[in-house]
Amino acid sequence: MTQEQHIFLTAEWRDLVILNYEVDGELLSGYVPAGAVLDSFQGRFYISVVGFRFRRTRLFGFLPVPFHSDFDEVNLRFYVRRKEGAEERRGVVFIAEIVPKRAVAQLARRAYGENYVSLPMEHSITGNGAANRVEYRWRLNGAWCKLYAQTSGAPAPAEERSLEQFITEHYWGYTKQATGAAIEYHVAHPVWNVWASAAAGFEGDASGVYGSELARILQRPPDSAFIADGSAVTVFRGKRIREPP
């Protein structure tokens, strides 16, 4: 049985707000897992802060978890690639992930070693179909952080060779382990429709989750921002891809 036949969970990811910031690759070098290298778009490296809704979550594709099937997530991530034979796998590395459910954070830390934290969260989605605003918020030490984007018009698939396509079409996840090894897992979903956004940003002090250097980057206007409609997703079980020397 192959890795692709071992489902860890199925869910829907909906109403994704994605803010992208160009950064110096040196800033990310310490986060890159063994066996992977930084991926770039037109020679530039990006981090993304992403907020979205988990819906209809089921472990192993069939087992609902009472009171834990629908919740929000905000994550900070960057992009890598890894060769597997003749295949080049493009993936993401999560610097930190925030959810409001403590049990979800504990499960993700145990299964993949991801840096999940549990904090109070909320979201709002407003609009009339022609103009929409999506916002995700979390609270730490009594203060709120938020990311938001506002769009207008109809969504469409990301254009070929666009930054939006680069950001959304990474279908592998990589986790750096404390031992020096790495975990690789596959995430499957169809191509998403996107709305470009000229009115988007991040507000608040995120240093308590991301550290001061990355938090400062989020204070500037994003280099690009968009909303993706999302879809059903399947997350497969991870495997160790490289032992430490």
Percent of the chain topping pLDDT 70: 94
Q: Which helix (H) or strand (E) holds 87?
A: strand 87-99
Q: For residue 177, report the phi and psi dihedrals to the nearest 5 degrees.
A: -95, 155
- Domain of 204 in residue numbering reads as 3-242
Highest-scoring range by mean pLDDT, 32-46, 111-125, 230-244:
32-46
Give yes or no for a contact between 93 and 113, defined as CB atoms under 8 angstroms apart: no
pLDDT at 225 over 60: yes
Higher pLDDT, 195 or 108: 195
> Looking at residue 130, what is its pLDDT?
66
- Give the distance from CA 4 to its chain's centroid: 20
Q: What is the CATH number of the domain that holds 63?
A: 2.40.400.10
> Looking at residue 196, what is its pLDDT?
87
- For the chain, the domain total comes to 1
Place of tokens 């070693």: 113
What is the pLDDT of the chain when averaged over all its residues?
A: 91
Of 137, 140, 172, whose CA–CA distance to 36 is shortest?
A: 172
pLDDT at 244 over 90: no
**Whole-model pTM above 0.85?**
yes
Mean pLDDT of 160-174: 96
CA pair distance 213, 105, nearest whole angstrom? 24
pLDDT band at 179 (very low <50, low <70, confident <90, very high): confident
- Collapse the DSSP code of 100 into the 3-class scheme (helix H, G, I; strand E, B; otherwise coil) and give the result: coil
Task: Report the DSSP pairing between strands 182-188 and 239-242.
Answer: antiparallel
